Structure 1
Amino acid sequence: MRRISLLLAALLILSLLTPPASAAPGHEVALRVMSYNIHTGIGTDGALDLARTASVIRDSRADVVGLEEVDVHWDARSDFQDQARDLARMLDMRVFFAPIYDLPPLTDGEPRRRYGVAVLSRHPIVHTENHLITRLSTQDPNPVPRPMPGFAEAVVLVRGVPVHVYTTHLDYRPDPAVREMQVADTLRILGEDPHGARQVLLGDFNAEPAAPELAPLWTRLSDAWTSPEPGATYPADAPAKRIDYVTVSAGVHARDARVPDTLASDHRPVVADVTVRR
C-alpha cells in the first residue's frame, strides 16, 4: 500500500506540473545537498546559537539538508526551542522532523520533548515517513536493541523530479553490532522504494568509510566524497575522522563534495552537488 500511495501521489503531482525546459526528459537536474550534525545548535565554544547554525546552512546554498541531533522542546540545553521549525523559518525552507525520542514534558501542559533528525528543503516535500531501525536507547537505563523511529524519508519534488531523501544517525558506540543491524535495516527500507527511485542518504554514520559494518551500504549507494583529500568532519575544531556523509543511489550522480570550515557544531557539515536524471 505504501508503494501504491506514493506512486499515485507522485503521478498526480507530476501531472499537474509543467516542467521547465531545463527539466525536460533526459535532462539532468542539479541539486545541492548537505548533511549536518548540528549538535543541537551548540558550537565548539559551548554556546547555543541556532542563528549561527542557520548561517552555515544559508552560506552553503544547499537545496536540501539532512540534520542530526535536533531538539524540539527537549530541555534547557536548547532553551526548549523547536529547532526544526525555527531553522525552517530562519531559512525559509520546508521541514520534516522525525523524532527518535518522544517523551512527556518535564512540566504538565508543556509540549512533548522530542529529539531526532530532520530534512530541510527549498523544494516541495510531497511525502514523508519516519521509519523504524534498530536502536539501543540512551534514555532507557537497561536498553536492548529494538526497532525505534528516527530514520527520516522525505520525497522532494525537484523541478518535477521526485527524489527520495533520507536522513539517519547511526549508533555512536565503539562496538559496531548495532550499526551492523542499522545498516541492514537501512538497505531493507531503501529496497522498499519503487524500482529506479532516485535516492540520497544523508547522515552521521559514526564510522569511517572503510569500516566493515558500512560495507553493505556501498553495494547499493555511492559515496559522494571522491576527493583524495581526507574530508574529515569530526571533531570540528581538529577534524580527524570522516563520519558524516552524502551518499547516492543509481540515477543520482555526485559531481563534487566539500567540507565547510565551521565551528558552529562539534561536527563539520558535508555539502555535495549532484545531478538527477528525469
Structure 2
Amino acid sequence: MKLKVASYNIHKGVGLDRRRDPDRILTILREIDADVIALQEADRRFGLREAVIPRSTLDDHSPWRVVEPGHYDRARTGASMGWHGNALLVRRDIEVLGACAVPLPTIEPRGAVCATLRVNGVLVRVVGMHLDLSGLRRRQQVEAVCGHVDGHDDPGHAVFMGDLNEWSPSGGALSAFAPPLRVLAPGRSFPSRRPVAQLDRIVVSEGLMVDAAGVHHSPLAAVGSDHLPVWASLRLP
C-alpha cells in the first residue's frame, strides 16, 4: 500500500516572473500528483490573508480537498486556507479523522498544522510546518511538533513535512528529530532557479518504508516559486 506525500513552499503564488499565478501552482501540484500535500505560504500576506488558490478552484478542478484546522475561524482569518500560511491538501478518498493547529514557540509569525488520516485502514498523522527563519526557535519548534504527535493516545505512523529553513545538511534543528524518526534528504530545493540548499524536508516515523524521494524540477516549477517541491513515495505496512 503506497502513499505519495509532497511539500511545497508556494511563495504566496508569486513566481520568479513576479506574477501571482494560482493556476500555475495548481498545475505544478498536478504534475507531482501526491496523495497528501503540505503547502507553505499558502495565503496572501496582507488584508484578509485570502488563500492563494481559491477554494472554489480546488473544489471544482482538483482531486484534493483542504484539511481544516479544528479551530478554524473564517470570520477572523478571512478566506485563509490554513494556519499562518500552512495548509494540508489530501486526496478526496482519504479519510480525515481530525485536524488542528500546532502552537509553536516563535518570535516571528510561524505555525504548523496536523491532520490524522486513515489510509486504507492505516492511521497516519501528517504535520505541515514552516519553521523559524532566524534559527533562534527552530529546534524548539521541532520539539513542539514532535511532542504534539507523541501526545496522542492512539498509535500511528507520522510524516512531518515543510520548509524547515535549516541550511545544515544534517545538524542544527534536524538533530531534534530523534531516532527512530528518519530525516529524508530529497535534494536541493532552494532557490528554485539554481538550487543550493535542502531547506524543504520530509521526516518519517519508524515502520514507513521509503521507496523513493526527490525534488520536482519541471520547467513550470523552476519559475512557479522561489522553492521547488519535494516529494516521497512511502509504503504503509
TM-score over 0.5 (shorter chain): yes
Query: Percent same amino acid at aligned positions?
Result: 28
The structure whose residues are more often helix, as a share, is 1
1:98-177 alignment runs, 5 A limit: 98=69, 111=78, 115-122=84-91, 123-138=94-109, 150-173=111-134, 176-177=135-136
Q: Distance in 1 between matches of 2:226 and 2:170?
A: 22
Q: Distance in 1 between matches of 2:54 and 2:68?
A: 6
Per the TM alignment, residue 87 of structure 1 is displaced from its structure 2 partner at its CA by 5.7
Q: Secondary structure at the match of 2:41?
A: strand
Q: Secondary structure at the match of 1:59?
A: helix
Letter of the structure 2 residue corresponding to residue 245 of structure 1: R
Q: Distance in 2 between matches of 1:61 and 1:103?
A: 28
Per the TM alignment, residue 155 of structure 1 is displaced from its structure 2 partner at its CA by 1.3
Per the TM alignment, residue 45 of structure 1 is displaced from its structure 2 partner at its CA by 1.1
1:1-278 alignment runs, 5 A limit: 29-71=1-43, 74-75=46-47, 80-81=50-51, 83=53, 85-86=55-56, 88-89=58-59, 90-98=61-69, 111=78, 115-122=84-91, 123-138=94-109, 150-173=111-134, 176-194=135-153, 196-208=155-167, 209-225=169-185, 231-261=187-217, 262=221, 263-277=223-237
Q: Secondary structure at the match of 2:25?
A: helix
Structure 1: gaps of 5 or more residues = 1-28, 139-147
Q: Aligned pair in 2 of structure 1 residues 118, 266: CA closer, same or farther (>3 Å)?
A: same
Per the TM alignment, residue 75 of structure 1 is displaced from its structure 2 partner at its CA by 4.0
Task: After superposing the two structures, state which structure 1 stretch, 197-206 or 122-131, moved more.
Answer: 122-131
Q: Secondary structure at the match of 1:168?
A: strand
Contact 2:174 2:183 in 1 (8 A): no
Contact 2:42 2:51 in 1 (8 A): no
The structure whose residues are more often strand, as a share, is 1
Q: TM-score, normalised by structure 2?
A: 0.84
**1:20 match:** none
> Deviations for 1:127-168, whole angstroms, at most 9, x for unmatched residues?
111111111135xxxxxxxxx7x3111112212222111101
Q: Aligned pair in 2 of structure 1 residues 111, 205: CA closer, same or farther (>3 Å)?
A: closer
Superposition RMSD on alpha carbons, in Å? 2.8
Per the TM alignment, residue 245 of structure 1 is displaced from its structure 2 partner at its CA by 1.1
Letter of the structure 2 residue corresponding to residue 57 of structure 1: L
**How many pairs align?**
226
Q: TM-score, normalised by structure 1?
A: 0.72
Q: Distance in 2 between matches of 1:45 and 1:272?
A: 28
Bigger CA radius of gyration: 1
